[in-house]
Structure 1
């Protein structure tokens, strides 16, 4: 089997620099080996979990600089495995719901181990409380970031979101209503994109890319470095505060800014006053009519 070139599944404009220059190149370098020996994507996901568990074990001795260095190296291995499993799944066309679930469990499992190990190493009740609060904040931030990133990659291809189908289960409907708030706020843009994807997709990509680039601060890569820096500073609690305050502000500001970009692009669809994009949309609508 030949190794495919980078598949464009991630837009480089919004990627974290360490992904661009370290993590993804390392994954692509390992991809031919994995394909040659028929290593499955699920096996790589599990290997990533093992590497992440090793990093957590190293951070149990975070008072030692050598232990922190080992934790960083093992965390880097985990991040590489996290990218490599997706590359294998796409190259072999073996992506599956089970694989996506396993990948997600491995990712969240590593951070759960890191939070627990660090809280246990500090050993105070406030450390456990702070760790739990940071973990909950992390989960919300990650969910929001993945949602925004998925929208971006879909939209730059000119694909509008299909109408949502209400679930029959009332609890699922309640969850969808809360989790789907960004989708509901984005509906005017989605309608405009569906009407004229050729114009809006390019304009959206140019204007939204800087926002999503800033939001890449919410990636696991940044958290890996933040943990190491906090431990080298002598207090893992600094990482939890970083998670709770600055990263939450990044998430909120970026999402608000993303919605502003959407509204600015969708507005000409409804009003054609002095806007070049509106003129293009109006011209296309007239031509199609």
Structure 2
């Protein structure tokens, strides 16, 4: 099997991937995965390495110097690459677990909080208290990132629901987890496995919600009209946020991060909501015709 075929197998649903991930971060991650593929490195160990890279990034950002910001950017880039490796290894070696998916999610959230907070504290050291504080802009940018990620995840999940023709696939995945948890408790499975299932169930329920989506439109037409919209949503997706933060740190320009996350991001969000409303109107008209 050639590398291109293996690379495609290492991905999730292509429509569920951000373009920047597919063409930049994941190819770099795939090179790492293939380089060390013969070694017994598990997905969880890649997650641990990603966490350590995120902590190293935060440590350097906290120093608050132009040089340390560049190192912070390097380690955050390394985190972004390693954060892709765990899932790719799990898909290629078919050794993914509920505990591993939980760890991946926790590491992702933890590192993002660390990086935004330490970047803000590092910037605070650079500016006089009498001047306007750019570190406050970083906090606002972090909040904006959270809003953008929630919006992107919402429309991504909706698109995948239509693509599968199943509005309740997320809810059923959660119900399946509950079933496996019940079975593990009845069979006296190890405490670690039961704990992992409980934690992952809670994490999945919070992340996905428990409401089944009603597919009001024709799934094929919905996917045709929304594929471009989904790619447009990725302009405020996690991968672009990571990239802009890295560039901002290299240039030591927090205003760049603020402009992208708050100014551009907010305008893009409004435009996308209008665009989605227009698409839904067209779908409703075609349904009524």
Q: Same fold (TM over 0.5)?
A: yes
Match in the other structure for 1:221: 239
1:97-135 Cα offsets, whole Å, 9 max, x none, are 332222122112222122221221232595554444332
1:158-237 matches, cutoff 5 A: 158-161=165-168, 187=214, 190-193=215-218, 200-201=219-220, 203-231=221-249, 234-237=252-255
TM-fit CA distance, 1:234: 4.3
1:186-207 Cα offsets, whole Å, 9 max, x none, are 74xx1334xxxxxx32x33332
Structure 1 gaps, min length 5: 166-175, 194-199, 273-289
TM-fit CA distance, 1:45: 1.1
Structure 2 gaps, min length 5: 173-204
TM-fit CA distance, 1:86: 1.0
Match in the other structure for 1:145: 152
Match in the other structure for 2:41: 39
Match in the other structure for 2:26: 24
Structure 2: distance between partners of 1:212 and 1:105: 25
Check conservation: 2:145, 2:241, Cα contact below 8 A: no
Match in the other structure for 2:94: 93
Distance change in 2, residues 1:141/1:32 (3 Å) = same
Aligned residues: 248
Q: CA RMSD in A?
A: 3.7
TM-fit CA distance, 1:13: 9.3
Match in the other structure for 2:114: 113
Deviates more, 1:238-247 or 1:74-83: 238-247
1:145-195 Cα offsets, whole Å, 9 max, x none, are 122223323423433336979xxxxxxxxxx9xx97xx79x74xx1334xx
TM-fit CA distance, 1:48: 0.8
Q: TM-score, normalised by structure 2?
A: 0.69
Q: TM-score, normalised by structure 1?
A: 0.69
Match in the other structure for 2:189: none
